[in-house]
Amino acid sequence: NVRYGSDDASREDVERVCREAKVASFVEKLPAGYDTVLTDNAVNISKGQKQLITIARAMLSDAPMLILDEATSNVDTRTEQDIQAAMERLMEGRTCFVIAHRLSTIRHAKNILVMDHGDVVEQGTHEELLARGGTYAKLYAAQFDAGMQI
């Protein structure tokens, strides 16, 4: 599954990206290890594990640009931390367009566009947007007040 789209990748490369994506220990416990083929309806794999495998696949493809949709929705705190760490590694040295609802996903971005009903209403870094006290700052405060990890 990790090699999907990168058929010429070596076993060593697959194992390396699985370690970097924090999914190697899970993959190694599968019945056929790295040779296991998982289907879309696999019931013995969590959403978080699916997301980490997808991150490993993206690492293996080594694309210069990535479009990512919120990676941490509906996962437990530990898995969210693993996904966040893997995402940070994945995004290094690449242009990334990230659709995020949990602002922790984008707080280190060089440029954040805040959209409201399809319009860009703010633009800047995390710190700049917080200092302005606008839409982004209000969303950030709401997530913090709601007890969400920021």
**Domain containing 135: what range?**
100-150
Render pLDDT for 29-58 as a digit per residue (tens, 0 to 9): 988 899 888 877 766 788 888 889 989 999
pTM: 0.77
Q: Are residues 46 and 77 in the same domain?
A: yes
HSE, side-chain direction, 13 A CA sphere, residue 36: 16
Question: Rounded to 5 degrees, what angle do the CA atoms 89, 119, 70 make?
Answer: 30
User: Do 52 and 71 contact (CB within 8 A), yes or no?
Assistant: no
Q: Are residues 31 and 77 in the same domain?
A: yes
Q: Are residues 25 and 83 in the same domain?
A: yes
- 27: domain CATH number is 3.40.50.300
Sign of the C-alpha dihedral computed for residues 142, 145, 149 and 150 taken in this order: positive
Which of 72, 88, 83 is closest to 148 using CA atoms?
72
User: Do 112 and 132 contact (CB within 8 A), yes or no?
Assistant: no
Render pLDDT for 4-20 as a digit per residue (tens, 0 to 9): 889 899 999 999 999 99
Helix segments in the chain, DSSP class H: 11-20, 24-29, 47-61, 77-91, 126-132, 135-145
Render pLDDT for 54-71 as a digit per residue (tens, 0 to 9): 899 999 999 999 998 865
* Residue after which a domain boundary falls, among 99, 117, 132: 99
